Structure 1
Amino acid sequence: MRIIAMILAGGEGTRLSVLSEKRAKPSVPFAGKFRIIDFTLSNCVNSGIFDVAVLTQYRPHSLNSHIGNGKPWDLDRSHGGVQLLQPYQGRRDESWYKGTADAVYQNLNYIRERRADIVVLLSGDHIYKMDYSAMIDFHQKRRADFTVGVMHVPLEETDRFGIMTVDDQQNVVEFTEKPKNRDKGTLASMGIYVFNADTLMRRLGEGGDGSPRIDFGKHVIPAMISNDKVVAYPFEGYWVDVGTIQSYWETSMELLDPNNTLKLYDPHWVVHTRSEERPPAKFGPQSQVVQSMVRNGSVVRGRVERSVLSPGVYVSPGAIVRDSVIMNDVWIGPGAVLDRVIVDKNAVVGAGARLGYGDDLTVPNKQEPEKLNTGVSVVGKSAHLPPNIKVGRNVVINADRDEEHFPTDEVASGETV
């Protein structure tokens, strides 16, 4: 039996604001040294799947260079291995991917060339550990055409997910994409699918000009529930869609909890990534670090509390970093205070600056009120913040902003620079 995996990694991730402005959502850094897609790629190889296609589209350069030839995941193979599939212009109707199903449809040749029996279709933007081989066994024992991974989510979050209705045999009888009312239950699709390859190819090819099969949630899954055997595979482990600023920040903070169930340090299920060589982390004589992750190449001379520091971060003497996520090669000046902020790569925080200033966490961002409304402020890639500036809550500092973009010494809560 031939099993292949296809990872959908072309998403723009607009709800992540400036974090996904210059990169696809699956290549957003996470947990100091990883990218979000590392978890899905590692799940594949840890599950014994070594034939993997990554479907990219939006700003793929960072993702392409991260995956490369797949060596960190043992996917640099002459037979199988990893293959990056971008949209292209051809002689027929190939073009930009219009949706998740269209992306797979335009790459059906990949499935045919591999002579696949089973296609494991995955999202590249979720944080979790899962043995796909157990789900494939379940799929075969149930003689299903299509198996979807499901788990219960809080009732107030059901409008973010596709919600499944199942009978007492775990057969899916109804699917509702991001329901506005909350009477459909809490059993959410995880974006983890196992298909019989022939059924998948047949269903994707059925949509005509009048009703194209563009999206799995809107078009393919409802059609398959009507015509095929669709079953739900319940998953009870750790799984998070870090698709919003709040969920990204919360998930990062959860990593620092000693009781966190993601278990990044489990030697039996390693999360692989591309690592660059850096010297060990260094802590100066005045440094204090409390319940934090500090990655290689970082130098801490100030105080770090409940925070995640990626490689190459410099925390100057007298600086305080609290409840924050700091990405690669950020420089934090003397006496600066960062509270509940996410700072993207290569940013510079001037001496004495205050980021996350003030007690009112409820003033939403004026330009993106639905994305920043819980008190987390975000600094984009390579932004330079001047010394002694005060930046409030729910603030967005866009990428590449320089000191001249800050005409006053304060950015009020809810503003955007």
Structure 2
Amino acid sequence: MNTTNCLAMLLAGGEGKRLRPLTLTHAKPAISFGGQYRLIDFPLSNCLNAGIEKIGVLTQYRAETLHQHLGASDSNITLLPAGSKQEEGYTGTADAIYKNIAYIDQLHPENVLILSADHIYHMDYRDMLHFHNSQKAAATISVIRVPLEEASRFGIMSVDADRRITAFREKPRRPESNLASMGIYIFRWSELRELLLQDAADPESSHDFGKDIIPRLLKGQARVYAFPFEGYWKDVGTVDALWRTHMDLLGSPAQLALNPPTWPMRPAGQTLQNEMLRMEDDRGSASLLHQHCFLEGRARRSILSKGVWVGKNSLVTDSIIMPNAVIGKNVLISHAIIGEGAVIEDGAIIGGSRKQISVIGNVSQEEHQGGWNAYTRGYREGVNGYDRASFGN
């Protein structure tokens, strides 16, 4: 399928409040994943592997963390930050696209592919684009079946025998279907452009694709279709989901292949060799360790990222240690996410459970290098908010 006349727009401006404290210092799509990647690398790699030649990345919250990651990116990738003034900021997913109409117009795409920049999956968008064009659709939404008890978290739709969408409800309280939107849309640009202009002029609109644009299309009897996806896909918008998705990397076989040879990860447009090693010995069992981490202690069912240091007699179990974190000696960590650059003091005990994952927030590079005061930036996610954790430099 020829993708040269399709522009991809990655929505990467979200604040990610449900991922705090990790998102206190990083944009949600810039959160580390799998030891050597970031969340945005998944949809970005999907685009590049599918031959999509032009990609716009819309940034807003903590934009500098994404700009740093993508700064040396492929020339096909354009960063589109929100304006610095409040009235220039993106107020919704549809508003973000609306405020970049001039950028899109200059590229003259036939279709626009709109993606969330923080979902974990491998997908060939060419298949969806072929279906979209074959149906002469105004819009196509990629969908996946979810457990009915989870359906209220998603945009839910009903379809006819031809997969044409007959009804759509954003996060219904009592869902009647389990066919969920994945936040992946293809629009014919000429039709989407007109819709965005109408939506921007509507004072009652929240300027959101799920709440406003899709219902407006359906109300106008436009041809809107559902494209089914049956592969692995996870929305990692919560601490629990981020932890569980990481654990899916550790099975035998793993539910998610981190860097499949036929569909390589390409962070910032660059092909990167898989540097994660599966450990099955006395030091690390059922674990993934980056080849540039240092393990003096032991790891069980855990992921140790690039630049991580684990001191003597420390035990890390069922946990994710993000890049450049330092774990001292005689430390016990269980069911936790340790943020980038965090420093855990000797003898600390950080223990969560499958129902309540403990989280230590990220640290900026300057703080990490300069000696960091744990009691001002360290957090453990608890029932009543964020409690101070016992760790330091």
Using the aligned pairs only, state the percent identity: 40
Q: 1:267-306 alignment to 2 at 5 Å?
A: 267-273=261-267, 288-306=283-301
> Residues 204 and 343 (structure 1 numbering): CA distance in 2 closer, same or farther, change over 3 Å?
same
Aligned to 1:197: 189
Q: Is contact 1:4-1:116 (8 Å) kept?
A: yes
1:116 to 109, 113, 130: 109
Instruction: Give, in angstroms, the shift of residue 381 of structure 1.
Output: 2.0
> Residues 170 and 38 (structure 1 numbering): CA distance in 2 closer, same or farther, change over 3 Å?
same
Q: How many residues align?
A: 370
2:345 to 320, 327, 350: 350
2:304 to 306, 309, 312: 309
Instruction: Give, in angstroms, the shift of residue 115 of structure 1.
Output: 0.7
Q: Is contact 2:35-2:276 (8 Å) kept?
A: no
Q: 1:8-407 alignment to 2 at 5 Å?
A: 8-70=11-73, 75-76=74-75, 81-88=76-83, 95-182=88-175, 184-207=176-199, 208-212=201-205, 214-227=207-220, 228-273=222-267, 288-356=283-351, 361=353, 374-382=355-363, 401-402=373-374
Q: Is contact 2:116-2:183 (8 Å) kept?
A: yes
Which residue type is aligned with residue 249 of structure 1? W
Aligned to 2:367: none
Say which structure, 1 or 2, has more relative contact order (CA 8 Å, 6+ apart).
2
Q: Is contact 2:361-2:377 (8 Å) kept?
A: no
Pairwise CA RMSD: 2.8
CA deviation vs aligned residue, 1:51-87 (integer Å, no higher than 9, x gap): 00000111111101101141xxxx22xxxx1111112
Instruction: Give, in angstroms, the shift of residue 301 of structure 1.
Output: 1.0
> Residues 69 and 135 (structure 1 numbering): CA distance in 2 closer, same or farther, change over 3 Å?
same
Q: Quick one: distance in 2 between partners of 1:85 and 1:412?
A: 36
CA deviation vs aligned residue, 1:308-353 (integer Å, no higher than 9, x gap): 1111111111110000000111111111110001000111111111
* TM-score, with length taken from structure 2: 0.88
Q: Quick one: distance in 2 between partners of 1:404 and 1:64?
A: 26
Aligned to 1:396: none
Which residue type is aligned with residue 48 of structure 2? V
CA deviation vs aligned residue, 1:170-210 (integer Å, no higher than 9, x gap): 1111111111113x211000000011010010111113243
> Hey, which bits of structure 1, 4+ residues long, moved more than 6 A?
410-413
Structure 2: give runs of 5+ residues left out of the alignment: 365-371, 389-393
Q: Is contact 1:281-1:298 (8 Å) kept?
A: no
Q: Is contact 1:150-1:232 (8 Å) kept?
A: yes
* TM-score, with length taken from structure 1: 0.83
> Residues 405 and 51 (structure 1 numbering): CA distance in 2 closer, same or farther, change over 3 Å?
closer
Q: Quick one: distance in 2 between partners of 1:38 and 1:272?
A: 7
> Residues 403 and 203 (structure 1 numbering): CA distance in 2 closer, same or farther, change over 3 Å?
closer
Aligned to 2:387: 416
CA deviation vs aligned residue, 1:271-330 (integer Å, no higher than 9, x gap): 12269x9xx899xxx961101111132111111001011111111111100000001111
Which residue type is aligned with residue 242 of structure 1? V
Which residue type is aligned with residue 106 of structure 2? E
Which residue type is aligned with residue 260 of structure 1? A
